[in-house]
Amino acid sequence: RLKEGRALAEDVWSIYNVANLPADCINLGQGYMNFAPPKWVTEAANEALQGIAQNHYSHPKGRVRLRQAIKNHYGPQFNRDLDIESEFSSPAAPTKTGDEVIMFEPFFDQYLPSVTFNGGKPVYKPTSNEWTIDLAELRRAITSRTKMIIVNTPHNPVGKVFTRAELEGIAALAEEFNLIVMSDEVYDCLTFDGKEHVRIANLPGMWDRTVTVGSAGKAFAATGWRVGWLIGPPSIIRPTLAATTRIVFCTNSPLQEAAAAGLEQAEQRGYFATQRAEYTARRAILTEAFDKLGLTYTLPEGSYFILLDISNVKFPEDYPFPASVLGRGRDFKACWFIALEIGVSSIPVSEFYCEEHANIGEAYARFAFCKDTDTLQKAAERLQKLK
Ligand code: GLN
C-alpha cells in the first residue's frame, strides 16, 4: 500500500492530530506553537483586514509590500540586491516525469508528494548515525536523470544545522553534475548556541542553481497563515511561479501584509534574538526531562524538534491501536501509546524515511518544543512515567 501510494496514504499529521487524541493530551506532535504571534504582527493583520485591496487577490508573485520587505530583510543575508519581481512563490519541486530528486533521510515528509505528484522519482540517502552525509554515496546516487538535491537546514526532524564544509561538499557535486538545489531554510531564524546558519545559495557558483525556502509561519509563530517565500534566480522561480498561479493563484493577501510588517520591524525590535533565547530555554526543559529518564536524544542546533530514542520504551502489543497505526512501524505504536497513556503526543520518525529504510526511523519519536514553558514543564513531568 505504502509503496504504491505513500503520497496518498493518510499522513502522519492527520493520524496524530489533536482531533484524534484525548483533549487533555499535551500536543508536542505537529510543529506549531501554543502561543500567539507577536502583537505587532497580529495588529498588522487586523489592520490589513480593514482595508479593501488587502482582502483581494494579490499578484501571484506576492504583494509588493511583502516582496519589498523580503528584499530588505534577506538582501543583506544573500549579499545581493534581490529583484522583487521574481521572489515570491510556493515550494513545489520543479520536476518533470522521470526526473530524479535526491533527498537525505530523515526528510520532511511533504517533499515526497511534491516530487512524485509531478512524476519525479525520489532517491533516498540515509544520513549516518551521527546524521552526517556521505559525499561518496551522494556522488554514487547521481545519475543522468538527477535534477535536484533537497537540502534542509536547520533540519526537521533532526535539528541539525549543516556546516559550511558539508554544504560545500553538496554544492561541489551540484555544480559538477549541473543540479538544482532546493534549500528548505524555514527554520533559519531558530538556531541555538551561536551556531551559524549557512545558506548554500551563498556558496560560490550556487546562486544560479539554488532556490531557498522561507516561512512567515515559523518566523512569526503563525503556521496556519500559509505565507512563505522562495528566493532564487528567475530560471527556477519562473516555472514555480507558473505552477503557483495555476494551483492557488496567490496566497492569502491580508496575512502577506502582516508578514511584511513582521519582517519590516523584527530587527529593530530585537525579535529574532529574543525568540532564539526563548527557544533555548524551551529546549532545555525537554532535554533535562530526557536526561533524568536516561534516554538518548538529539540535541538540536536549530529548528524546534528533538528526536528521542524510544527503542527501549515498552508498550503492550495488544494495546487497542487504531487501524491507521496498526499497519505501521513500532514507532507509530509507541507514539500512540505514549500519547494515550502518558498524555504527551509526538510524531513517529519512520514517516521521514522511505519504506526500505523505515527501520532506522522506528527508533525515534519527534517532540516539538514550540510551546510555552508551562506546557513543556507539564509534559516533562508526565514523560517521567516512561521510566
Ligand atoms: N512542519 C510541521 C512539522 O514538521 C508540520 C507541517 C505539516 O503539517 N505538514 O511539524
Alpha carbon of 199 to ligand 1 centroid (Å)? 22
SS3 102: strand
Percent of the chain predicted with pLDDT > 90: 87
Summarised one tens digit per residue, pLDDT across range 318-372 is: 999 999 999 899 999 999 999 999 999 999 999 999 999 999 999 999 999 999 9
Decide: 27 in ligand 1 pocket, CB within 6 A: no
Q: Give how far the C-alpha of residue 281 lies from the chain's centroid of Cα atoms, to the nearest Å.
A: 21
Global pTM value: 0.95
Residue 26 sits at φ, ψ, to 5 deg, of -80, 125
State how far the Cα of 299 lies from the Cα of 308, in Å rounded to an integer.
Answer: 10
Q: CB-based contacts of 91: which residues, under 8 Å, 6+ apart?
A: 114, 182, 184, 213, 228, 230, 240
**Among all chains, which residue has been given the C-alpha cell 496518498?**
8
CATH 3.40.640.10 domain locations along the chain: 41-269
Residue 2 confidence class, pLDDT cut points 50, 70, 90: very low
Decide: 152 in ligand 1 pocket, CB within 6 A: no
Decide: 14 in ligand 1 pocket, CB within 6 A: no
Nearest atom within ligand 1 for CA of residue 186: 1
State how far the Cα of 1 lies from the Cα of 365, in Å rounded to an integer.
Answer: 23
pLDDT tops 70 at residue 87:
no
Q: CB-based contacts of 54: which residues, under 8 Å, 6+ apart?
A: 48, 63, 253, 254, 257
- DSSP secondary structure string, 199-268? -GGGSTT-GGGEEEEEEHHHHTT-GGG--EEEE--HHHHHHHHHHHHHHTSS--HHHHHHHHHHHHHHHH
Q: Which three cell numbers stand for residue 101?
A: 530528486
- Which residue intervals of 51-199 are DSSP H helices? 64-78, 111-116, 135-141, 164-176
Please provide the average confidence, as pLDDT, over all residues in the chain.
Answer: 94
Nearest atom within ligand 1 for CA of residue 30: 10
State how far the Cα of 344 lies from the Cα of 26, in Å rounded to an integer.
Answer: 5
Cβ proximity of 202 and 57 under 8 Å: no
Decide: 114 in ligand 1 pocket, CB within 6 A: no
Q: How far apart are the first and last CA of the chain?
A: 35
Alpha carbon of 36 to ligand 1 centroid (Å)? 18
Nearest atom within ligand 1 for CA of residue 368: 10
State how far the Cα of 215 lies from the Cα of 222, in Å rounded to an integer.
Answer: 9
SS3 104: strand
Alpha carbon of 153 to ligand 1 centroid (Å)? 15
- 249: region left, alpha or beta (phi > 0 left; psi from -120 to 50 alpha): left
Nearest atom within ligand 1 for CA of residue 156: 4
Nearest atom within ligand 1 for CA of residue 218: 1
Summarised one tens digit per residue, pLDDT across range 295-323 is: 999 999 999 999 999 999 999 999 999 99
SS3 382: helix
Decide: 31 in ligand 1 pocket, CB within 6 A: yes
Alpha carbon of 48 to ligand 1 centroid (Å)? 27
**Fold of the CATH domain 41-269:** Aspartate Aminotransferase; domain 2 (3.40.640)
**Among all chains, which residue has been given the C-alpha cell 499535551?**
26
Alpha carbon of 108 to ligand 1 centroid (Å)? 8
pLDDT tops 70 at residue 49:
yes
Ligand 1 atom 2: the closest Cα is on which residue?
31
Whole-Å CA distances, 263 to 132, 133, 316: 32, 33, 49
| Residue closest to 303 by CA, chosen among 212, 367, 236 | 367
CATH 3.90.1150.10 domain locations along the chain: 2-30+272-386
Pick from 13, 158, 370 the residue to mutate for probing ligand 1's pocket: most ligand atoms within 8 Å of its CB. 13
pLDDT tops 70 at residue 94:
no
Q: In what order do the strands lie in the sheet with 146-152?
A: 121-126, 100-105, 146-152, 180-184, 210-215, 228-231
Ligand 1 atom 3: the closest Cα is on which residue?
31
State how far the Cα of 287 lies from the Cα of 324, in Å rounded to an integer.
Answer: 30
CATH number of this structure's domain 2-30+272-386, picked from the four choices 3.40.50.720, 3.20.20.140, 3.90.1150.10, 3.50.70.10: 3.90.1150.10
State how far the Cα of 345 lies from the Cα of 336, in Å rounded to an integer.
Answer: 7
pLDDT tops 90 at residue 8:
no
Cβ proximity of 229 and 217 under 8 Å: no
- 356: region left, alpha or beta (phi > 0 left; psi from -120 to 50 alpha): alpha
Cβ proximity of 289 and 295 under 8 Å: no
Mean pLDDT lowest among 173-187, 217-231, 237-251: 237-251
Ligand 1 atom 4: the closest Cα is on which residue?
31
SS3 109: coil
Alpha carbon of 180 to ligand 1 centroid (Å)? 24
Decide: 156 in ligand 1 pocket, CB within 6 A: yes
Decide: 30 in ligand 1 pocket, CB within 6 A: yes
Mean pLDDT of the 204-223 span: 96
Task: Give the DSSP letter of residue 94.
Answer: -
pLDDT tops 90 at residue 239:
no
pLDDT tops 70 at residue 99:
yes
Alpha carbon of 31 to ligand 1 centroid (Å)? 5
Decide: 38 in ligand 1 pocket, CB within 6 A: no
Q: Which amino acid is at 166?
A: E
Alpha carbon of 243 to ligand 1 centroid (Å)? 22
The percent helix, strand, coil of the chain (3-state, each to 5) is 45, 15, 40
Residue 102 is predicted with a pLDDT of 96
